Structure 1
Amino acid sequence: MAISTEVRDQLTRKFEALLPHLNERQQRLMLASEARLLGHGGVRAVARAARVSETTVRRGVFELERGLSPLPDGRVRRSGGGRKRVTAHDPKLMSALLALVEPDERGDPESPLRWTTKSLRHLADELTRQGHTVSAPTVGALLRRNGFSLQGTRKTLEGTQHPDRDAQFHYINEQVKDHQATAEPVISVDTKKREQLGLLPNAGREWRPKSDPVQVVDHSFFTGPQVEQAIPYGIYDITRNTGWVNVGVDHDTSVFAVESIRRWWKARGRHDYPHAGRLLITADAGGSNSYRYRVWKSELAALAAETGLAITVCHFPPGTSKWNKIEHRLFSHITLNWRGRPLTSHEVVVNTIAATRTSGGLRVEATLDTGEYPTGVAISKDRFAALPLERHATHGSWNYTLHPAPADASSPVPPVGEANGPAQRRQAMLARLADPRLTGMSPAQMEQLAAALAPAQAARAQERHSQQRGGRARRATGNLRAKPLFNDSARLLLTLLYQRQVCSMKVLADLLEVTDVCIADLVKETRRVLEDQSHHAGTAQVRFAKAAALLDFLTTDQRPARAAIIDRLSHPALTGMTRDELHSLIQRLAVSQVAQGERLGYQRRGGPRQPGTRSGVFPQKISNSERVLLTILYQRKLCTMEVLTDALGDVCRSSVGNVIRETRPLLQQVGHVPTAAPVRYRTAADLLAAAPDDRDTPTS
């Protein structure tokens, strides 16, 4: 019979109320039971009232008629229902996928995707190309099912580990506990990455109004060396969980590092630890606080003498700087605090660092350091040996203590800091090196030469800076360029001393407490200026192999033993000419000897000097004036080459032979033909004894 409209309406209201609360199988069985109660036409009526397919209702009726048992809790369909997994249709799919994502483990180093990004889309495309039709979401599901996930790299490999690595970690831990047990300060120090200032991109994101990001430049490499920079040097107090950051603007040198620690002590350390007698510093093995730098230890000795603290330093082994507390206790939070924000000025850097706070109680202070910290500063070995430095029994190169006073009263007082110590000593030493006996010029002549070369030196400096920038300056330099260690007059003086072969670059570096590279750079630049002005420095009468010998000469006029021997050999009784005539001949040959040295050097190199080389005059075992003297003595047949070699004492026969072979043509060019001597000497002692001790001038 026909089903009335009233029944249909009641079914519709009933289904609307109950069906949303039932799962798929429960809905199907409920609809089937209503259809069976209605009898003929019930399936269609129920399907229309519930707005489902008649097939769904009819399938439910069949399930009720078969009398199947209820399904376990949580299941809607019987086991085995639904579509088969893609791996069931394609059993080789999983092995093909693993061969793509694990080429090394699967022994397939020539995997098609070995050198490309293994994204889900790339994997799906490659599998489809191999005949395994699959979508990117299915690839993702298969990877997750087999224990894969998206992962980045992890910094855990440290290269070759030092054999004392673990022992050093234990030793640092013991030192920290020992200092903390007696309420002594323990700090972790390091330099954060150098930051360029300006509208430059900075990693990270920050909340801003929608579609209104901060506008920054798309490239930052054009800024060049003249851009302002910030160098944050951090001091992290491990015990109090506080940070202090000194933001420098010049160079990250050892002097700057110790000055940062000094500022922390004056501003925070002495107030937080009023009764402190010791200070423990943990630092990495490189950078401005490297355990290899003598300047770092010398400046710490000055700080120890100033504060009265016994400063102990423990360095982490090379390659383990990430274990230094400051890296993840201070620097990481500073980086998070200025994420997505361009560092446009030093004020922004200082205030952003000072605003760093953490829920763990970290508080940070920051200050701007506008001081100048030039590079090239060094400490001589003798001055370093006088430091009150005590190496620990456990790896003394990494662990050492600098005491506030020398161990005994006879030891020298430790040096003060660079600002008022080596800088003043450097100026005093320059004044001593300007001695006319070394320069060959009076003070008035030196001033006149310096004034004449000043414009050329300034032009050379601008040319050098332009090459470093890659073009002209893009802004007014102002105070951006650091003040050099030596002014133009000092550069001229040092270049003259080196060209006159008074001593080596190493000796000059030890006297002035700078690096020999610093001396080499200024000699290279100033030498070109002297060549442009056609100025020839000549050769000094005395040469010094050690700094102590040069200082003794300046103080007591004590000449080296080699100079006394040359003076004896220059006697007119041996040379057959007066000393003035010999000196005049040496001066006439000076230019030819320089040209000959350049020509021989070119031949040995096989071409011009490579870019970046010093291109200076390197001190020779036998100076140019000595070359002329030895050639004259040999041409007069006073003795053999072996006798001349024995007389000099510190050269070999081949060197003397080369000197004579190279200098003989130069003497012939100027028309000098030495006369043969009436006596021939068989030994060096006889040769030197033939020259009287006085400086008379007998005739030839």
Structure 2
Amino acid sequence: MSEVDRRLRERFEVLLPHLNERQRRLALATEARSLGHGGVRAVARAVGVSETTVRRGVFELEAGEQPTPTGRVRRPGGGRKSADALNPQLVPALLTLVEPDERGDPESPLRWTTKSLRHLAEELTRQGHPVSAPTVGRLLRDNGFSLQANAKTLEGEQHPDRDVQFRYINEQVKAHQDAGEPVISVDSKKKEQLGQLPTPGREWRPHGDPVRVVDHSFFTGPNADRAIPYGVYDLTTDAGWVNVGVDHDTAAFAVASIRRWWQARGAADYPHASRLLITADAGGSNSYRYRLWKAELAALASETGLAITVCHFPPGTSKWNKIEHRLFSQITMNWRGRPLTSHEVVVKTIASTRTRTGLRVDAELDTGDYPIGISIGREELRALPIHPHAQCGTWNYTIEPTHADAAPVPGRDRERERAAAVAMLADPRLTGMTGDELDELTARLAPTQAARAEQRRWHQRGGRRRNAPGAGGRRLLSDAAALLITIVYLRQACPQRVLSDLLGVNPNSIGEIIAETRMLLDEHSHHVTPNIGLRFSTAADLAGFLRDGPTPIPTPNRPLPEALSHPALTGMSRRQLGDLVERLAVRQAALVERRRYTQRGGERMPGGRGGIFLQKITDAERVLATVLHLRQLCTRAVLAELFHVSPRTIGNALLDVRPLLEQDGYTPAPAPTRYRTATTLLAAIPQQEDDTTESIH
């Protein structure tokens, strides 16, 4: 290597790394021109570049080209054409895929698939527009698209009183706070299943040492350990109280949580309080529809001497409840990434929740039983001291203490009252059995009842129990009580509604118990004989009879009206009418059951229609009423009065029977006279007739 080559290499090794492509080319060309003839080859050999590159730089210097704009290496217009420039149909095809509702076919293959860049690029390539995923991303950005998450802004159909209720709640809160009275926001947090289960979020851990949790958290049945947090948030002091239950989220549990807050915090923070304002959403365990919620609040008002005012948020607006984003959101962030392995962990984690704005939270574990199925009767609800407000009285009401000037009155012991009612129902006059006979039947059916209960829980759990027997929810009625009320019902002493009011149990629960126990009695060939001489239509009548022992209440046995089947009214003989009823019987029963199935939306509820009590109007009477109506003999109201039912029942009978009569080929002959009242119609019936055949049954 000559001395010139060595110096050139040393100089350019220092300079060239700091230059861009065009600057390097021009620097090499300047050095070549200074060397004269053979300079291009010498520079190319010393630096190790192509002579063509050096020569191109010389040509650019000799041509006197202007410097390129700042930041550019090449002149504008250089390089490859963009994909959308080479293919003008590419962007319209892309927009067709990402906006199928506006620009493309509603049946687009990507309408219901993930619109990722890779999927879009593959679909465009399949359509004859070869393109890469990064290019698709650039084209989307150029056309105003960006990655966005869902925005929770649509609230659905709004209640007409929504804004009015919001303003009213705000006024009530300000009025109570100005008077120094407590104002709380209450709600239930999401139930949490306990165990080594994954929770959303992350927390600081040593590198490479995450908390190990199971990879699935399938629901393990009603006997799985779970925590039910019910929160009380004090809007004035910015303090939270959470009652962690282990049984059921019922109205009784909700009020018990408020009671525990008052005993632990409220009474100390507001020693001179005379009123309490509760803001709650419209559903859940504190729903404004629940009678038990109001009954338990009335008991709390009597215990504390506070006038309790409740203001419910309109349906669908629970997110506006302060507790949601002032308390519950902070608790969720506090236990992020932490498995809730036990109730103790849940309670301590909730109690450790703090914020920079001053929020403090207390938590306690509530191991009490709160069984489901408790029912409050209408009469009991009417007796409560509830005063609806003039503004939206369904959502806003005040419950006054029963004895404001006297000592607090404790709440009702519903369990003891229920046990006393069950004991009353064991009266031999209702059961038709002596005490020994009833005990013998109970003992004989007990093993089968226990086996059935365990089988039912097995299906609910989806497998074996996880806890010891008796650790799950407690039933309101024992197996012996279930057998007793089923016998009383089968004896036709009262309908299920009366049993529900007397025992304080939900009617659906009563129906399920009776349906299950009735099948058990049939399997053991135990027949219960009805007692037609005793029939009670209200719980008060039944309780009064068992307590005072009055004369049994006879139940009228109303047969098919003989007079209304007179040939002068029906236009046919009694035998012809009986034959017509017999022909329609099967189709009529099938049609009625089909219509009821459609109305119910499924199978009948246990203990529902089709029980042991007679229908309001028999199938034969439905046919008779329809024949009289089609003959235009009288109106529906007159028929309702004659058959002692409502006009709606007559209307349903007409809907059922009229198509069947048309299919049977029945053509009614118009009656010569139309009667406007039941009295005039009955007075016009002839006292004697030639047709002496039997009436329909």
After TM superposition, is the score higher than 0.5? yes
Category of TM-score, reference length = shorter chain: 0.7 to 0.9
| Counterpart residue number, 2:522 | 531
In the TM superposition, 1:449-464 aligns within 5 A as 449-464=441-456
Provide Cα deviations, 1:629-654, integer angstroms capped at 9, x if missing partner.
Answer: xxxxxxxxxxxxxxxxxxx99689x9
| Counterpart residue number, 1:490 | 481
Aligned partner of 2:304: which letter?
T
| Counterpart residue number, 1:594 | none
2:310 counterpart of 1:313:
yes
Q: 1:172 to 1:235 in 2, by over 3 A?
A: same
Q: 1:68 to 1:422 in 2, by over 3 A?
A: same
Q: 1:603 to 1:116 in 2, by over 3 A?
A: closer
| Counterpart residue number, 2:238 | 241
Per-residue deviation, 1:82: 2.9
Contact 1:31 1:46 in 2 (8 A): yes
Contact 1:12 1:49 in 2 (8 A): no
Aligned partner of 1:193: which letter?
K
| Counterpart residue number, 2:12 | 12
2:614 counterpart of 1:620:
yes
| Counterpart residue number, 1:389 | 386
CA separation in 2, counterparts of 1:504 and 1:173? 46
For residue 467 of structure 1, give the secondary structure of its aligned residue in structure 2: helix
Aligned partner of 2:200: which letter?
A
Q: 1:601 to 1:98 in 2, by over 3 A?
A: closer
Normalising by structure 2, we get a TM-score of 0.76
Which of 334, 337, 340 is the equivalent residue of 1:343? 340
Q: 1:503 to 1:379 in 2, by over 3 A?
A: same
Aligned partner of 1:126: which letter?
E
For residue 365 of structure 2, give the secondary structure of its aligned residue in structure 1: strand
Per-residue deviation, 1:3: 6.7
Q: 1:310 to 1:604 in 2, by over 3 A?
A: closer
For residue 296 of structure 2, give the secondary structure of its aligned residue in structure 1: helix
| Counterpart residue number, 1:550 | 542
Per-residue deviation, 1:77: 3.7
Provide Cα deviations, 1:83-140, integer angstroms capped at 9, x if missing partner.
Answer: 3221111111111101001100214212221121111111111111111111011111
Per-residue deviation, 1:542: 1.2
Per-residue deviation, 1:232: 1.3
Aligned partner of 1:614: which letter?
G
CA separation in 1, counterparts of 2:31 and 2:420? 113
RMSD across aligned positions (CA)? 3.8
Q: 1:23 to 1:310 in 2, by over 3 A?
A: farther
Aligned partner of 1:484: which letter?
R
2:224 counterpart of 1:227:
yes
| Counterpart residue number, 2:512 | 521
Provide Cα deviations, 1:402-446, integer angstroms capped at 9, x if missing partner.
Answer: 22236999xxx99854xx522222222223333332222333443
Q: 1:407 to 1:242 in 2, by over 3 A?
A: closer
CA separation in 1, counterparts of 2:156 and 2:370? 33
| Counterpart residue number, 2:567 | none
Contact 2:449 2:479 in 1 (8 A): yes
Per-residue deviation, 1:235: 1.7
Q: 1:28 to 1:258 in 2, by over 3 A?
A: farther
Residue correspondences, number:
595
CA separation in 2, counterparts of 1:536 and 1:156? 61
Q: 1:543 to 1:621 in 2, by over 3 A?
A: farther
CA separation in 2, counterparts of 1:392 and 1:542? 44
Contact 1:282 1:316 in 2 (8 A): yes
Contact 1:305 1:404 in 2 (8 A): yes
Per-residue deviation, 1:287: 0.9
CA separation in 2, counterparts of 1:283 and 1:389? 17
CA separation in 2, counterparts of 1:303 and 1:512? 22
Contact 2:303 2:409 in 1 (8 A): no
Aligned partner of 1:400: which letter?
Y
In the TM superposition, 1:174-185 aligns within 5 A as 174-185=171-182
Contact 1:235 1:243 in 2 (8 A): yes
Greater shift after overlay, 55-64 or 116-125?
55-64
Aligned partner of 1:116: which letter?
T
Which of 390, 411, 430 is the equivalent residue of 1:438? 430
For residue 221 of structure 1, give the secondary structure of its aligned residue in structure 2: coil
| Counterpart residue number, 1:278 | 275
CA separation in 1, counterparts of 2:347 and 2:315? 30
CA separation in 1, counterparts of 2:41 and 2:292? 97
Which of 475, 497, 500 is the equivalent residue of 1:506? 497
Greater shift after overlay, 348-357 or 127-136?
348-357
CA separation in 2, counterparts of 1:369 and 1:491? 29
Per-residue deviation, 1:547: 2.0
| Counterpart residue number, 2:459 | 467
2:213 counterpart of 1:216:
yes
Contact 1:386 1:414 in 2 (8 A): no
Contact 1:387 1:414 in 2 (8 A): no
Per-residue deviation, 1:326: 2.0
| Counterpart residue number, 2:116 | 119
- Name the % identity: 62
Q: 1:162 to 1:47 in 2, by over 3 A?
A: farther
CA separation in 2, counterparts of 1:88 and 1:559? 100
CA separation in 2, counterparts of 1:92 and 1:240? 64
CA separation in 2, counterparts of 1:363 and 1:90? 63
Greater shift after overlay, 147-156 or 60-69?
60-69
Aligned partner of 1:148: which letter?
F
CA separation in 2, counterparts of 1:222 and 1:296? 29
Q: 1:260 to 1:46 in 2, by over 3 A?
A: farther
| Counterpart residue number, 1:162 | 159
Q: 1:605 to 1:83 in 2, by over 3 A?
A: closer
Per-residue deviation, 1:491: 1.6
For residue 312 of structure 1, give the secondary structure of its aligned residue in structure 2: strand
| Counterpart residue number, 2:93 | 96
Q: 1:234 to 1:222 in 2, by over 3 A?
A: closer
| Counterpart residue number, 1:692 | none
Contact 2:458 2:465 in 1 (8 A): no
| Counterpart residue number, 2:654 | none
| Counterpart residue number, 1:138 | 135
Unaligned runs of 5+ in 1: 567-599, 624-647, 656-683, 685-700
Which of 190, 194, 197 is the equivalent residue of 1:200? 197
CA separation in 1, counterparts of 2:530 and 2:432? 9
Per-residue deviation, 1:465: 1.9
Unaligned runs of 5+ in 2: 558-587, 618-641, 651-681, 683-697
Greater shift after overlay, 173-182 or 2-11?
2-11
